Chain A
Amino acid sequence: MQKITREQLIEKASALLSNSTVSCVLGWGMGEFDYDVTPTTFNSVEELEKGFVFSDFCGANFSKYLVKKAAACEGKILVFLKPCDTYSFNQLLTEHRFDREKVYVVGIPCEGMADINKVKAICGEGILSIGSKGDKMTVTTLYDDEPVSIDAKEVLAERCLNCKSKKHVAFDELLGDEGDVIESNRFDEVARLEAMTPDERFAFWQNELSRCIRCNACRDACPACTCEKCVFDNPNSGVENKSPANSFEEKLFHIIRAYHVAGRCTDCGECSRVCPQNIPLHLLNRKFIKDINEFYGEYQAGAEEGQRAPLVDYTTEDLEPGEVFDRRDSDA
């Protein structure tokens, strides 16, 4: 499915390591399963050849890792960024979260990443291996004698189906062609919920958020959540809690988390990708993005470095909180 191959990436990384442009490489490492790919730092060509992988399951957004890894790497660190990752990259630069000089960005094209849950929905559990050939994916499971061949397009992750951009907004070097921003329908689902009655919306979110086990995976993967100390981990914040202490806590956690990243969230979709309970958390963020676009004009976080986020800005003509609803009512 991907246009670029593991070999091409290793070749590029090896060249940059060999000519000392970089001293380490942030890439995807082999996990326990083919679909279980782990962000890994490689320090040598040997390590790359042994452990570097690239497949339809390399969804992880590396931008966030730079906050810690860029400083930890002795020289420059090479990072492979897909188009959507580069938005987070810019956003983090805007927030001074790492030193741009310490990073060498190779932008790589992306044909969309697969959602393992969709694969499992077709092929069942017990997946032994997943191979890729052109537009097809070959899945071997414990229970099938023959490998099952599926269409890679059919198992694309939701965020890739609604891909907003194939354009790299930050890079030092590009592998492949430069892409463009895409008109997507990513707000359709938000609009569908908005059209519901409050009771229906409440029921929807009650069903979704009540599954939360407060594992914090969404927060830990989110490139906008890079706080030195999260308020929910800070015993002095007054809101600290980790376990689902009472039923409201998850809701508070998710509202506050979405609010904290509002205007800064690039809609990379990592929160939903990593959620073990498959809660569509990205919808909360998209709601904020959609509102911000509608209230204050189109804004894409991370599109440029140094942008001023809408919630730390204002105009004297902004609409009133009450008008938000009046407007929506008159639209309906």
Chain B
Amino acid sequence: MQVNEYKPLIVAFCCNWCSYAGADLAGNNRLAYPADVKIIRVPCSCRVNPMFILRAFQRGADGVIICGCHPGDCHYTSGNYYTRRRMAALFSMLDFLGIERERTRVEWVSAAEGAKFAATMNDFVEKVTALGENKRLEDLRCKK
């Protein structure tokens, strides 16, 4: 019965101009998604340092998602293009180290896409829940 009680901890970094507004819109439209998702507001997705992501995993997050404006729509013109390269490289590296790739995600959510925000979060929470607790990044050495 333990499995049913497992609630993942999800950290979502949202850019102020698009995705955070998209999350607000999801709220305005009362589109439900699990309370496991905790949003941190950043000015732009390019503000998200890989260190923050690793830090979240280190402190027990089970999944980290980064949301930004759609490519081409960045408030700062090019911020999310850098995000795209950085996260492609970082997530590929985490995968290389044996971290489940479903624990990390980048999603472009515009201020008009409240429904996409809620759907994305529902899907992400579902995937991470299926994986269960993040042990690999929280604890590297055999702690069995």
Are A and B direct contacts in the complex by CB distance below 8 Å?
yes
Within A49-98, which residues are at the interface with B (CB < 8 Å)?
none
The answer to whether A247 and B72 have CB atoms under 8 Å apart is: no
A262 at the interface (CB under 8 A from B): yes
The answer to whether B85 and A311 have CB atoms under 8 Å apart is: yes
Residue interface bits B17-35, CB-to-A below 8 A is 1, else 0: 0000000000000000000
Q: How many residues of A contact B (CB 8 A)?
A: 48
Residue interface bits A318-332, CB-to-B below 8 A is 1, else 0: 111111110000000
> Known: A206-B142, A247-B139, A295-B88. Contact between A318 and B81, CB under 8 A?
yes
The answer to whether A321 and B51 have CB atoms under 8 Å apart is: no
Partner of B96, one of A201, A209, A210, A248: A201
Residues of A within 8 A of B94 (CB): 255
> Known: A198-B100, A321-B88, A325-B101. Contact between A251 and B140, CB under 8 A?
yes
Within A273-299, which residues are at the interface with B (CB < 8 Å)?
284, 287-288, 291-292, 295-296
Of the listed residues B54, B88, B95, B101, the one surrounded by the most CB atoms of chain A closer than 10 A to its CB is B88
> Known: A251-B140, A322-B106. Contact between A316 and B95, CB under 8 A?
no
Q: How distant is the Cα of A256 from the Cα of B91 in the complex, in angstroms?
A: 12
Q: How distant is the Cα of A322 from the Cα of B94 in the complex, in angstroms?
A: 13
The answer to whether B139 and A324 have CB atoms under 8 Å apart is: no
Nearest Cβ in chain B — how far from A38, in angstroms? 33
> Known: A255-B54, A295-B88, A296-B85. Contact between A288 and B93, CB under 8 A?
yes
Residues of B within 8 A of A258 (CB): 93
B48 at the interface (CB under 8 A from A): no
The answer to whether A251 and B97 have CB atoms under 8 Å apart is: yes
B90 at the interface (CB under 8 A from A): yes
A188 at the interface (CB under 8 A from B): no
Partner of B72, one of A250, A316, A319: A316
A200 at the interface (CB under 8 A from B): yes
Partner of A248, one of B51, B58, B85, B100: B58
Within B27-64, which residues are at the interface with A (CB < 8 Å)?
50-51, 54-55, 58
Within A180-216, which residues are at the interface with B (CB < 8 Å)?
190, 193-194, 198-206, 209-210
Nearest Cβ in chain A — how far from B89, in angstroms? 6
Within A135-152, which residues are at the interface with B (CB < 8 Å)?
none
In the A-B complex, the 7 residue pairs with the closest CB atoms = A202-B98, A314-B81, A201-B98, A247-B141, A321-B88, A321-B106, A321-B87
Could you list 8 A-B pairs, sorted by A, with CB under 8 Å? A202-B97, A204-B98, A205-B140, A210-B140, A258-B93, A320-B106, A325-B91, A325-B101
